[in-house]
Structure 1
Amino acid sequence: MLAYGRCTFSRSLVGCLQQLSRAEDLTLSCLNERRRFSTGRPGIVQWVGQCSSSPVAQIVQRSAARRGNVSRSRKLTMSAKAFAGTDELAAYISEGPLNSLAGITPESVTKNIDEWQELGGFIASNLKFGSTDKLDAAQRQRIFHLYLPVFFWIRGQLERHRSRRSADNKSPLMLGMSAPQGCGKTTLVEQLEALFEHTGGKAAVFSMDDCYLTRADQEQLAKDFPDNGLFQVRGNAGTHDLPLGKKTLLELQNAGTSGTEVRIPKYDKAAHSGKGDRKDPADWTVVKGPVDVVLFEGWMFGFRELPAHDAFKANKDLAEVNARLRHYVNAWDTFMDSWLVLKVADPQWVYGWREQAEQSRRAEGSGMSEPEVKDFVSRYMPAYLAYLPSLYARGPTTAQPGRLLTIAVDRDRSLAPVQPKKVK
C-alpha cells in the first residue's frame, strides 16, 4: 500500500491508473462512480482533490493535460461528478423549493441525474464558480434549486407548446418574464440563454427596456406632461415604443424556421449623460432562426390596469400612466404563451439593489450618486406599489393555468424559504 496524507492507495490501483492514463479513454467520471457504487466511499475524483501530491493525482493531472482537446461538455461532466455521490446530489435537488411548482419529482431527478450533473457543471463554469465540488451553499442553491429547475420548467413548456401547435407551425415558445429591477433577472436570463444553446436549442432574449422611446420622443412626452414626474424620465407605461416592440415580437414569433432573421432593438442607457437613447439600427442585435424560445422580459411586464379612481388615489401622477397601460395588453402581452414572475416581498429593496449597482459604476468613474439613485427609483415605486399585488395574486394579464411559474426571492436575491402557491 502507498500512503499519501489521509489517503492510502494500493500499488495495483496506481499501476492500473498509469496504464489507463496512457490510453485515450481515461474517464474520471466512471472511476468516480464505480468506486462510490461498490464501496460507498468518495470516488477517485474526490480523493484526487484531497491528495494532490499522490501518484493518482499526478497521473490524473498528466492525463488531463495531455487530453486538452476533450470537448467542453465532457470536461464539465467530470467536474460535476465531483460534486457528491449521485444519491447525495439527487437528494439535494429533490429538496428544491421550486420542484412542486415546476413539476419536478424525485423520480424525474433520479432518472435524469446525469443531465443535472452535467448542466450544473456548465453553469458553475459560466459563472466562474469553479468546479462543482467547490460550491458554497449559496452557489449550490442558485444552480440546483433555481437556474436548473427554471430551465427544465421552460423546456417542459416548450414541449407542450410544440404538442399544441400544428405540424406546419414552427413558432417558438414566447415566454414573458416580469421581475423588479436588480432582483437577479439579468443573470437568470443569461444562464437560460446559455443552457438552451448548450443543449442544442436557441433562445432569443428581448427586453422591454430596449423599446424605450428615442431621446427626442421622451423629451416631447415630458413637455406634454410637465407636471407629471413619472413622464420626465424613461421607465413607466407610456415611455415605450409599442409599435416597435409589437413588430419585433411578431418577427420573433415567426423565427422558428431556418433562414429567418430578426433585428432586435437596443437602447443605450448611458447616452446623454444617463438619460438614454435608442441605438442606431446598425448596432441592433441580429437573431437568426430557427429560434426555440423567446425570452421577453421587463420590470413592469404583465401589469394589470387599475380602475381609474384607484390609480389616481394611489398616486395622482399614476392616473395617466394607468391609462397608457391598457394598450400594452394587445400590443405585447397577448404574444406570450407562458409567463415567469420573480416575486419580492418588499419593492423597497429595489433602492438597495440599484445603489449596489451604481456603487460599482461610481468606482469606475461613472454612475449616479446616492441621491440620484433615490430619485431615479422613486419614479418606479408608485407602479410597484400599485400593480405588484395584483401581479402576485392573479398573475400577469394573459397568464393561463399551467403556464405560469412564480418564484419568490429574498433581499439577497436567493430563493425565499417559502414559495408562493400556484395561481389558479
Structure 2
Amino acid sequence: MSSHVLAQLDAHRSRHAPQGPCPPLIVGVQGPQGSGKTFLTSHLRDALQDEPHKLSVTVFSLDDLYLPHEALVRVAQTHPNHALLQGRGQPGTHDIRLGRDVFDRLKRINDPGAGITEVKLPAFDKSKFNGEGDRVPGSTVRPPVDVVLFEGWCTGFYPIDHKEVERRWTSPVIGLGDNFFKRKGYSVEEFQDINGRLEYYIPWWNSIDAFIQITPPDDHPLDFIYKWRLQQEHHMKALNGGKGMTDGQVEAFVDRYIPGYVLFNEGVVNGWVDNTGTQQTPPWIGRGLRVQIGGDRELLQTSAF
C-alpha cells in the first residue's frame, strides 16, 4: 500500500509540476466492515509520515461526514418504513454539502492564492445518544499537505440502472443463499432509494486521485464479512469487560450493509452510466490497487486496476 501511494504521489506531482502548487494526492480506501481498513489506513499513514518519506498525511473517514444526530433522527422519522435509513450508515445519512466543502478546501489547501490557511475536518462520536452518535469538534489541518487518505465502507460506490437493481434484488446472493433480501425484510423500493441517493456522492468521488480497495476472496465475497465483524466485536469485548453487541446484533448490523456490496461494490472499477446513457469511468482507474485478504485477514494477492 505504501509503495502504491508513493508511486501515485510521484506521478501526481509530475502531472501538476507545470501548473504551480501541487494539491494533495487524495487516496480513497474502501473495504467492508471488519476487514481492517481503518487499521491498515492508520499504519499506512504512519509509514508515509516516518523516515525516509516524512510526508504530511491527513486521514479522515466517511463516518466523519455523518449528519448530526438531530438530522439523522429526522431522516429516520421521514422514512419510517425504510429499514436502511433507521440509523446512520447508508448513503442518505451523510452531510453531502459538508463533504463537498471539505474535499474542495483540501484540494486547494496548498495553493497560496486560494487563501486557505486551514481546513477543519468534521468528526463523529458514535457513543453519543446511547450509540446513535452525534457530530463533535474535529481536527484542524494546515498546509502543506502531501497525501489525504479517505476511508469508508462505500467509498467509490456508484448508482446502477434501476432494472439491474431489481435483477440483483431477486438473484441468489453468493454464500448467503436464495431470497436473502426478502428473508431479511428488505424491499426493492428501499434499494432503489439508496441507488438514487448515491448520485449525490459522485462529486466526492470526483475528488479522489488514487484508490485502494480491500476485498474478500472471490469465493467468499460476503460471508467473511460476518466473520470479520464478529471477530472484531469479540476482541473489543475481551478488552472492555464484555461491553458490546451480542452475536445476533452483530449479524443484524452487517445485514444492513450487504445490499450495498451486492448492488454497488463493482462501481469502484466499473463506474456508472450517466443521465445521457454514457459510461463514465472513475477518476482513479489506472491508479488503483486491490488488496485481497482471506478469512483470517491474511494477504492473498494484490493487483492493479
1:388 matched to 2:257: no
1:292 matched to 2:146: yes
Residue in structure 2 matching 1:262, options 98, 103, 119: 119
Contact 2:67–2:135 (8 Å) recurs in 1 = yes
Residue in structure 2 matching 1:353, options 228, 236, 242: 228
Deviation at 1:264, TM superposition (A): 0.8
Deviation at 1:255, TM superposition (A): 2.2
Q: How big is each residue's C-alpha offset from its partner over 1:51-100, in whole Å with a ceiling of 9 and x where there is no partner? A: xxxxxxxxxxxxxxxxxxxxxxxxxxxxxxxxxxxxxxxxxxxxxxxxxx
The CA distance in 2 between the partners of 1:325 and 1:224, in whole Å, is 18
Question: Could you tell me which residue of structure 1 aligns to residue 191 of structure 2?
Answer: 318
Alpha-carbon spacing, 1:361–1:271, altered in 2? closer, same or farther (3 Å): farther
Contact 1:338–1:404 (8 Å) recurs in 2 = yes
Deviation at 1:392, TM superposition (A): 5.3
Question: Could you tell me which residue of structure 2 aligns to residue 379 of structure 1?
Answer: 256
Residue in structure 1 matching 2:133, options 276, 287, 296: 276
* Amino acid paired to 1:337: D
| Larger deviation, residues 173-182 vs 253-262 | 253-262
Gaps spanning 5+ residues in structure 2: where? Answer: 170-186, 273-279
Residue in structure 1 matching 2:34, options 176, 179, 182: 182
The CA distance in 2 between the partners of 1:374 and 1:293, in whole Å, is 35
TM-score (norm 1): 0.59
Question: Could you tell me which residue of structure 2 aligns to residue 340 of structure 1?
Answer: 212
Deviation at 1:401, TM superposition (A): 4.2
* Amino acid paired to 1:222: A
Contact 1:212–1:239 (8 Å) recurs in 2 = yes
Query: The residue matched to 1:306 in structure 2 has which SS?
Result: coil
Contact 1:183–1:413 (8 Å) recurs in 2 = yes
1:409 matched to 2:261: no
Contact 2:292–2:299 (8 Å) recurs in 1 = yes
Gaps spanning 5+ residues in structure 1: where? Answer: 1-149
Query: The residue matched to 1:320 in structure 2 has which SS?
Result: helix
1:204 matched to 2:58: yes
Query: The residue matched to 2:290 in structure 1 has which SS?
Result: strand
The CA distance in 1 between the partners of 2:231 and 2:271, in whole Å, is 31
Following superposition of structure 1 onto structure 2, how do residues 62-141 of structure 1 map, counting pairs within 5 Å? none
Deviation at 1:159, TM superposition (A): 0.9
Alpha-carbon spacing, 1:288–1:405, altered in 2? closer, same or farther (3 Å): same
Contact 2:72–2:87 (8 Å) recurs in 1 = yes
Alpha-carbon spacing, 1:216–1:181, altered in 2? closer, same or farther (3 Å): same
Query: The residue matched to 1:169 in structure 2 has which SS?
Result: coil
1:362 matched to 2:237: yes
Q: Which structure has the highest strand share of the two?
A: 2
Deviation at 1:253, TM superposition (A): 1.4
Residue in structure 1 matching 2:8, options 151, 157, 171: 157
Alpha-carbon spacing, 1:250–1:285, altered in 2? closer, same or farther (3 Å): same
The CA distance in 1 between the partners of 2:5 and 2:109, in whole Å, is 18
Contact 1:343–1:392 (8 Å) recurs in 2 = no
Deviation at 1:257, TM superposition (A): 5.8
1:242 matched to 2:92: no
Query: The residue matched to 1:335 in structure 2 has which SS?
Result: coil
**Structure of higher CA gyration radius:** 1
Q: How big is each residue's C-alpha offset from its partner over 1:234-266, in whole Å with a ceiling of 9 and x where there is no partner? A: 111111111111111112112226883211111
Question: Could you tell me which residue of structure 1 aligns to residue 173 of structure 2?
Answer: none
RMSD of the alignment, in Å? Answer: 2.1
Question: Could you tell me which residue of structure 2 aligns to residue 81 of structure 1?
Answer: none
* Amino acid paired to 2:39: T
Deviation at 1:167, TM superposition (A): 4.3
| Larger deviation, residues 383-392 vs 393-402 | 393-402
Query: The residue matched to 2:265 in structure 1 has which SS?
Result: helix
